Amino acid sequence: MSTLTDPPKESFRLSMLIYDTRYRSATIQVVAMIGFMILIGSIISNTVHNLTDLGKEPSFSFLSEPAGYDINQRLLDYDNQDSHMRASLIGLLNTLVVAVLGCITATILGVIIGVLRLSSNWLVARLMTIYVEMFRNVPVLLWIVFIMAILIETLPAPRAFRGDTPEATMSVFDSVAVTNRGVYVPEPLFHNSLGNIHVFGDSALRFDVSLDLMAFLIVLGGSLYASMRIRKWADALQESTGRRPTIWHIRAAVVIVPSALLMLVLGFHLGYPELKGFNFSGGTHLRNSLIALWLALSLYTAAFIAEIVRSGILAISKGQTEAAAALGLRPKRIMNLVVLPQALRVIIPPLISNYLNLTKNSSLAIAVGYMDLTGTLMGITMNQTGRELETVLLGMLVYLTISLLISSAMNWYNNRVKLVER
């Protein structure tokens, strides 16, 4: 008969931190952590100390000083007496505009090209291969500069539109002016405008909310909801009786009529651009710099997205396609109903990083003089105030925030479409 005895209880000794395997890894981690903290601390303190020696204590007070410079493309009101903070905000909005526009066009183009690259048509597939290889293998900065150069050198200057027999004329029923300073398109105007609501008074974050736009969005949202209810009703009817009523004309009317009525009440009309003095005035001015940056970023990123889409489609087992074909589905429906929904699970994660890349690449805007966050906060503001460290840190923080927001939004979407395993 054997008896179990507890091993002798050893009291904790300091040397056990090193020699006892139970504690050793924790000891190593604590030491490494302390070393890391010392390193970071010394870097920070060294920077602060040296800047103080130079008489430049880190300070963000410059943000409230008047900026003094003008910005050509501004989504909110701004003049050169506004603060650097306001100027940075205008720049940030410009960054977001080009990032959002770029992501949308790049996705549409990328999906089309990716699908066409798998086409059984030899010519189409080869053309798409050439497109992908061409855009993917040239730095995006060169594409930006190249497109800008084409826009500037080949399109007519506004002064070419002048005179009785002008060298250039406006296109699309005299409503769109394509010049080497950008494209002027008609803008929506209202005779009986509801006006704006001003938010945040005089602060750097102030902005106006257009009541016309709000009214339009509310009406449109309401009619889309009504249209959805009609479809649900038709679905239910089909389920129960097997007979589907014709509803497309009702749904179209529900969407179009209220919006059109609202437009009529507000006195909707278009403001056309016209040549006045040195430039066109009136209409909306899409500047060259925006167009060049937008196009270049979209075309470049579309090449990557096309490859992601292709790999996603190829990841779906061929059996799925064959099974769908055996059921009598046509190729287009196989793609839309069977392949793409499953391919999305493979496509979305790498797509996120391409959206992030596009957003970060938009900081190349300065090459064509597009006033994004890099151009305002980390460009002119940095130069005029001499606050390199502060502006760059702020800029990094903003880009980090944007990127994290994009990736969390996309991760949420990914979680929704991913395969639910049981």
- Note the residues at the interface with other proteins (CB under 8 A): 33-34, 37-38, 41-42, 44-46, 49-50, 53-56, 68-72, 79-81, 149, 152-153, 157-160, 180-181, 276-279, 281, 288-289, 366-367, 369, 371, 375, 379-380, 382-386, 388
How many residues comprise the chain? 422
Residues 6+ apart with CB under 8 A from 29: none
Write down the least CB distance from residue 136 to other proteins, Å. 26
**Minimal distance, residue 299 CB to other proteins, in Å:** 22
Q: Which is nearer to other proteins, 52 or 408 (CB)?
A: 52
CB of 106 to other proteins, least distance (A): 26
Q: Which residues, listed in sequence order, are joined to residue 189 by a DSSP beta bridge? A: 269
**Contact, 376 vs 87, CB < 8 A?**
yes
Give me the least distance between CB of 272 and other proteins, in Å please. 17
For the bound state, the minimum distance from the C-beta of residue 94 to other proteins, rounded and expressed in Å, comes to 12
In sequence order, the β-bridge partners of residue 274 are 281
3-class DSSP state of 63: helix
339/320 Cα distance (integer angstroms): 8
Q: How far is the CB of 72 from other proteins (least distance, A)?
A: 5
Compare residues 112 and 291 and give the one whose CB is closer to other proteins. Answer: 291
CA pair distance 289, 292, nearest whole angstrom:
5
Question: How far is it, in rounded angstroms, from Cα 182 to Cα 17?
Answer: 70
Identify whether the C-beta of residue 82 lies closer than 8 Å to the C-beta of residue 204.
Answer: yes
Q: Which is nearer to other proteins, 335 or 382 (CB)?
A: 382
Nearest alpha-carbon partner for 140 in 356, 294, 308, 305: 294
Q: Which is nearer to other proteins, 114 or 375 (CB)?
A: 375
Nearer to other proteins, 49 or 244 (CB): 49
**Shorter beta-carbon distance to other proteins: residue 235 or 388:** 388
The residue to which tokens 């000891």 are assigned: 27
**How many angstroms separate the CA atoms of 380 and 399, rounded?**
18
Which CB atom, from 87 or from 116, has the smaller least distance to other proteins?
87
Residue 64 DSSP code: G
CB count in 10 Å sphere of residue 319: 8
Query: Measured from the CB of residue 399, what is the shortest distance to other proteins in angstroms?
Result: 18
